[in-house]
Amino acid sequence: MTIKIRRYFMAGLLVWLPIGATVLVVSLLLDIIGSLLTLLPPALRPGELFGVPVPGLDIFVAFLVLILTGVLAANLIGKRLVIWYESILARIPLVRTIYGAVKHFSEIVLSESNSSFKKVLLIQYPREGLYSLAFQTSEEPAEVQSVTGEEIVTVFLPTTPNPTSGFMLFVPRKDVIELDMVVEEALKMIISLGVVVPEWHPVHPANEVAPPEATP
């Protein structure tokens, strides 16, 4: 009974934690936008310009701020500003550790410019007969393949429940099993300690029973 309650508690927590974090970030951003709007002269505030309150204006402005931030960060001046404030954060002991880990992991997972973290793999680790989830980070490291004489895949084996830390492993391709689940599903499973298991619908299940032949 206690195990079931604990399992249900963890499952409920995993549902509400992402929602709570999202609401917290969005609320913080909306509060900042609202505070910035109050800095405008009264005659330039949206309520004064249109004569009536504009519903959803904060959300639109927040979305616009995110887009403009992305545009700014993509050009030369923006990159220099990012380097400047990151150099400041790097001087704060605890902040630099958290910020650096999260930023590096986010860049790898969310980047669309490389093939990293695009495949979820199953490898035998920490010993033969035990399986662990891993992410493919690169293929065919030339020097490693030359030394080992095997076709090698570079994988990242995340720790649970914190997938921002883990191990880099060189695994022979013949020992790697590619899974159908997407990266987001694998991350949910890792963070939840295996409680959240993605659904799987095999195209050609091995145990599919053949339909009986029609009798003439």
2-11, 57-66, 101-110: the lowest-pLDDT one:
101-110
pTM of model > 0.75: no
Res 17 pLDDT > 90: no
Q: Give per-residue pLDDT as tens, 164-176.
A: 778 999 999 999 9
Res 26 pLDDT > 90: no
Query: Cα(171)–Cα(178) distance, rounded to whole angstroms?
Result: 13
- In three-state form (DSSP H/G/I as H, E/B as E, the rest C), the secondary structure along the chain is CHHHHHHHHHHHHHHHHHHHHHHHHHHHHHHHHHHHHHCCCHHHCHHHHHCCCCCCHHHHHHHHHHHHHHHHHHCHHHHHHHHHHHHHHCCCHHHHHHHHHHHHHHHHHHCCCCCCCCCEEEEECCCCCCEEEEEEEEECCHHHHHHHCCCEEEEEEECCCCCCCEEEEEEEHHHCEECCCCHHHHHHHHHCCCCCCCCCCCCCCCCCCCCCCCCC
**Overall average pLDDT of the 5-32 stretch:** 65
Cα separations in angstroms, 19 against 15, 16, 26, 160, 185: 7, 5, 11, 20, 16
Tell which wins on pLDDT, 93 or 209.
93
Q: Give per-residue pLDDT as tens, 103-153.
A: 666 666 555 555 567 789 999 999 999 999 999 988 888 899 999 999 999
Q: What is the mean pLDDT of the chain?
A: 74
